[in-house]
Structure 1
């Protein structure tokens, strides 16, 4: 045997080669990777080995590359056997033919193999949009739900809710990890916690686990899962889901995917809030993707912008209230959704074509995500100096550099909303100090929506503002904000916008959930405390029952 620089060891013993190749003949035992930089492993079935002569392969699942293989494109076979990762040297197809509806090919028999013992180096990371739930169970019956983030033959990484810390800390025995794939495949394995990273803003724990004493069958299943995750990831590599056949593991058998995941442990005050939380989950995952060097995912952004428009079509008032019910989500996500829904309601749908409304909602959804690319501590500063201000303002350009794959998104709308939302009429805004003549109507509207939503939420340097104070601020600064859009906003959302917490003459607290044609509250839900909307809100009141509460005495600013 001889050692290579990348850690692989060359095996040249004919007996050992035959034994290792025999493991690849099992279903799911092998992958094919063409010798092109950046190529991903693809599914292949090793049907037969004739030692010293040929290997017989079934490439029916990857017919799309059959042409280049027939033209001499070199490839390797990859697999796992006897606790080792293995690969063949570069090979080429000798001939291909149809046989009982299958595409069968032959290639030369390899006279050597390369094996790697370091199994942990084969770690498959789930890309944005690939959702695999996980259930973590303790010896004494406690359990929690989370999401799989990456998987190897040796262990996995899960994202769990903060309260899972007790389960992770109070165990002297391995825990059970059950992975739940979208097609209802379940896989349970014993695992021990190895490391934890707490993210208080995202209310999550990223925990690494090492699998304990896996069986040969579990190793085979894990290799299959790792390979299929890599295969599914390859479908998104160039921004196209249609380029390759989807993995069966990631195809749901029902219209509703299995309800396993970190957000399924959270309770929400309304069904609409739970549905909006699914879009919040996408934005949260996109934040991580950006922090790990990725770009804004074109397919997922399009899909979730469509979902947001459908929610607005279904229940406009319910959606506006739901934006105030996501206290479990990161502040960036809450603000991004608040601006997206507010701008959609103010400037979209009724006044512009639906395709452009979608682009507007999508641009607003991501407009602030560039802040995730700056140091976390920067956003905790209560009195930032000039240098820190400039650092903060750089988030816009950082985001714009990560939007390159979103070709479906109107460049003009993206520029107006995501790029220019922080500009001001007098040129005092950022990042380009554009003035009135350079600002599209949509940029002017977006600036108003953005400022209102931001000022209604707490920040390290100030608490949330009352809505009447926000309106006075906008009206008293015509040099910054287009007064036509300020007045349209006030008319559209009223003096007590949906999602406001108000106190009546009777002393009763209530959340505003709907307005009448005059902009006055027409439906409220009773509350007992100065807390964000929770799952235990009180009675819903309308018409006569609402009138018995008396007049509204004040709005109480609550950062949600």
Structure 2
């Protein structure tokens, strides 16, 4: 045996190969896959083998691919037996003939076989960026949940579903799972819910599912999915094998409807908030990857930074408001997006090149994710002293190490936003206690944005602050924060920034969504409750209808 490139072991001993090919000769034991396209496998029968010479295959059930095979298109034979996954190297048909209503084709006897030793319980884990949606239906087929596939084996899978689905699963002994791949492939199988793990911070529920009595065809499809997930994961991993073709399962079909996912059915206050939630989903997945010891994915970070720049160019005010509408996301994700969007908006008033703005956005999105590795008791502390602050500083180095593969990020921006955003002019910040002229302009700007975003959200040790109190705090601490950037922030975003909840003299509550050139209210959306904006917002008011409400009577502090 010798090693193959992607985890398979190559078998060349004739006796061993003959025994393995006999396993493929069993009914339902073999599939044929067109090698050029990594297509879905087709069922095929191995009707005869002459060791060292040729194989005869019955392709009567897949006559539609016969023209391609006759033209010499390469293919592989696939199969599984016991704990092994088998495949041949690429083969080509040498002749095809009709016999008694069957279409039989001959191909050369393979010079080797490739074997992947996998137990049926082996789980192929989806890497960051490999999206597979899942629909879980109950007995009545009317009740359903949407979620995301996290790993897959021949025996079962792990899904991430909305936390609100806990009751539905508690009453379900048997469910139907439909896996939905990006290229439009769908797979349906019955399953039993097993273990459950709730994550209230992420409003998510991890559920282990055990497949029930899969048929031979379902097992072949599952094996194909497991193999493709493994192959795509290998292709995307560090030191990846660039010669591996991308799996078609993860190529987006642009004509397909919106992807199935846990966030697809979540309520959002605005269309822009729903689009921003896709970026939040990436950060949430990256957060989990960091918890599991992984690094920041350079390609994904670049892609989603570009996406955020595009949303900002399309409608900056709608994007600013959307940062207040992701209350179901983890605090670290909400904070990172809030800093990224507001930092981008303020920095865009100057002549910064696009690549610098992109680096600013990327660094801001992830700058706090290292806190995910800190002890829970530290993040939930209500009293902060020197020991707690010293322990908190560790998150900066954690995220710097995870950025190692992101070579496209300018080192100066990483230093300013990731490493020094928590430093203060008087040296009271962390992690290095730098001060004064040691802190550049980007750091001074980023630290102001970071503090505003942190103070407008609840923390275990204090509730959210009203924007007027935040401004007062910044202006009264010129030794810590650059007064020039504090004043620029106030002038740019105004005394009632977009995303502020205000009360009018008649008692009406409204979210500030747009301002005019003078920083005055240009559009608000009514709401009945003083809580983060969700799907059930009221009427949008502007112009004369907005003026009839009168001057703002009160600015409220609501954590987003």
TM-score, length of structure 1 as denominator length = 0.84
SS in 1 for 2:553: strand
Distance 2:109 2:439 in 1: 63
Counterpart of 1:455?
A: 455
User: Are 2:336 and 2:364, in contact at CA under 8 Å, matched by a contact in 1?
Assistant: yes
Counterpart of 1:53?
A: 52
Distance 1:409 1:105 in 2: 51
What are the superposed Cα offsets for residues 224-248 of structure 1, whole Å, 9 maximum, x if unpaired?
Answer: 0011111221221137796532111
In the alignment, structure 1 residue 17 sits paired with structure 2 residue 20: yes
Counterpart of 1:35?
A: none
What are the superposed Cα offsets for residues 336-359 of structure 1, whole Å, 9 maximum, x if unpaired?
Answer: 000000000111364201111011
Counterpart of 2:266?
A: 266
In the alignment, structure 1 residue 231 sits paired with structure 2 residue 231: yes
User: Are 2:172 and 2:193, in contact at CA under 8 Å, matched by a contact in 1?
Assistant: no
Distance 2:213 2:377 in 1: 41
* Pairwise CA RMSD: 3.3
SS in 1 for 2:31: coil
The number of residue pairs the alignment matches comes to: 513
Counterpart of 1:84?
A: 83
User: Are 1:182 and 1:258, in contact at CA under 8 Å, matched by a contact in 2?
Assistant: no
Question: Offset at 1:258?
Answer: 3.7
In the alignment, structure 1 residue 171 sits paired with structure 2 residue 176: no
What are the superposed Cα offsets for residues 122-155 of structure 1, whole Å, 9 maximum, x if unpaired?
Answer: x111111111000001113421000000001111
Q: Which ranges in structure 2 are unaligned for 5 or more consecutive residues?
A: 1-8, 56-75, 96-106
In the alignment, structure 1 residue 27 sits paired with structure 2 residue 32: yes
SS in 2 for 1:148: strand
User: Are 2:30 and 2:78, in contact at CA under 8 Å, matched by a contact in 1?
Assistant: no
User: Are 1:125 and 1:229, in contact at CA under 8 Å, matched by a contact in 2?
Assistant: yes
In the alignment, structure 1 residue 348 sits paired with structure 2 residue 353: no
User: Are 1:287 and 1:369, in contact at CA under 8 Å, matched by a contact in 2?
Assistant: yes
What are the superposed Cα offsets for residues 493-547 of structure 1, whole Å, 9 maximum, x if unpaired?
Answer: 0000000001112221111111112212111111111121121211211122211
Distance 2:383 2:556 in 1: 25
Counterpart of 1:287?
A: 287
Distance 1:106 1:391 in 2: 64
- 1:243-254 residue pairs with structure 2 within 5 A? 244-254=244-254
Distance 1:18 1:106 in 2: 10
User: Are 2:18 and 2:51, in contact at CA under 8 Å, matched by a contact in 1?
Assistant: no
Flag the 1:559–1:526 CA change in 2: closer, same or farther, 3 A: same
- 1:64-213 residue pairs with structure 2 within 5 A? 80-86=79-85, 108-109=111-112, 118-121=119-122, 123-140=123-140, 141-172=142-173, 174-213=174-213
Bigger drift between 140-149 and 397-406 goes to 140-149
What are the superposed Cα offsets for residues 299-349 of structure 1, whole Å, 9 maximum, x if unpaired?
Answer: 111111111011111101100000001111111111100000000011136
Distance 2:79 2:396 in 1: 45
Distance 2:118 2:241 in 1: 33
User: Are 1:42 and 1:231, in contact at CA under 8 Å, matched by a contact in 2?
Assistant: no
Counterpart of 1:505?
A: 505
Counterpart of 1:440?
A: 440
TM-score, length of structure 2 as denominator length = 0.84
- 1:284-433 residue pairs with structure 2 within 5 A? 284-348=284-348, 350-433=350-433
Distance 1:106 1:42 in 2: 22
In the alignment, structure 1 residue 275 sits paired with structure 2 residue 275: yes
Distance 1:390 1:99 in 2: 72
User: Are 1:28 and 1:224, in contact at CA under 8 Å, matched by a contact in 2?
Assistant: no
Distance 1:386 1:161 in 2: 38
Counterpart of 1:551?
A: 551
Bigger drift between 257-266 and 176-185 goes to 257-266
Flag the 1:424–1:409 CA change in 2: closer, same or farther, 3 A: same
Question: Offset at 1:380?
Answer: 1.3
SS in 1 for 2:313: helix
Q: Which ranges in structure 1 are unaligned for 5 or more consecutive residues?
A: 1-7, 32-40, 57-76
Counterpart of 1:59?
A: none
Distance 2:50 2:208 in 1: 42
Distance 1:425 1:482 in 2: 7
Counterpart of 2:103?
A: none
Bigger drift between 285-294 and 235-244 goes to 235-244
User: Are 1:131 and 1:148, in contact at CA under 8 Å, matched by a contact in 2?
Assistant: yes
Distance 1:493 1:361 in 2: 18
Bigger drift between 538-547 and 223-232 goes to 538-547
Flag the 1:413–1:348 CA change in 2: closer, same or farther, 3 A: farther
Distance 1:394 1:125 in 2: 29
Question: Offset at 1:393?
Answer: 1.6
Flag the 1:209–1:480 CA change in 2: closer, same or farther, 3 A: same
Flag the 1:227–1:97 CA change in 2: closer, same or farther, 3 A: closer
